[in-house]
Amino acid sequence: MTDLYPRISKEDAVVLLVDHQTGLISGLVRDYGVDEFKNNVLALANTAKFFDLPVILSTSFENGPNGPLMQGLVELFPNAPMISRPGQINAWDNEDFVKAIEATGKKQLIIAGVVTDVCVAFPALSAVNAGYEVFAVTDASGTFSQQVANAAMLRMAHAGVQLMSWFSVASELQRDWRNDNEGFGALLAGQLSGYQNVIGTYMGAKNDVNK
């Protein structure tokens, strides 16, 4: 029987961040506001950092109109493999990109990128064909419109790609609040303004008890 709830494992997952470039984000992402989108991307990136997941970065035509990678990603992952594709639209068509994934030994791919219907969908579908479990992070991926995003997500879902938010990725990796609850709470509070109130209330109550 097919597993209808494949869970992301910290031991078997790698994060792929494809074409989160300044020119593409400002020029093409219309299903999210720019600030919200950048926050979502950094939330996923910080989740990967918190859980110590390997990360692979990729760009296309970064010296042209697509622009450089988001500075926040460069700062978070200065030693991560950076695959600068000379022309391949589908990152999976780039031999170095696939080799970098294979080198991790992981079989679960968490992928996000710009744009959703091309730079996420194409490698996600290719990876499914290659036998990987693929999890596409929809709110850390952006495209021309919500309609285009919906069509891309439908296509991926039909092929077996799991669609998730960065928050659901983080929660599935955490599994249990008792696994470093303060560290996990700080991760959420750093990216979700509303959650800062939750953590503040919790810490205030905890300090009162300890007095």
**pLDDT tens sequence across 53-62:** 999 999 998 8
Reading the block at residue 161, the tokens are: 């790609």
The matching CATH number, chosen from 1.10.3720.10, 3.40.50.800, 3.40.50.850, 3.90.1640.10, for 13-175 is 3.40.50.850
Place of tokens 């959650």: 195
Q: Cβ distance 32 to 142 under 8 Å?
A: yes
Q: What is the pTM of this model?
A: 0.93
Q: Cβ distance 160 to 132 under 8 Å?
A: no
**pLDDT tens sequence across 42-83:** 999 999 999 999 999 999 988 888 999 999 999 999 999 999
Q: Which amino acid is at 188?
A: L
Q: Which amino acid is at 59?
A: T
Give, rounded to a whole angstrom, the gap between the first and last alpha carbons of the chain. Answer: 54
Break the chain into its structural domains and give their ranges.
Answer: 13-175, 176-211
Q: By three-state DSSP, how is residue 198 classified? A: helix
For residues 104 and 93, give the distance between their C-alpha atoms in angstroms, rounded to a whole number.
18
Q: Is 77 an annotated catalytic residue?
A: no
Least confident of 86-90, 92-96, 199-203: 199-203
Q: Cβ distance 95 to 118 under 8 Å?
A: no
Q: Cβ distance 191 to 42 under 8 Å?
A: yes
| 98 Cβ contact list (under 8 Å, min separation 6) | 92
Q: Which amino acid is at 84?
A: S
Which of 112, 119, 136, 173 is flagged as catalytic? 119
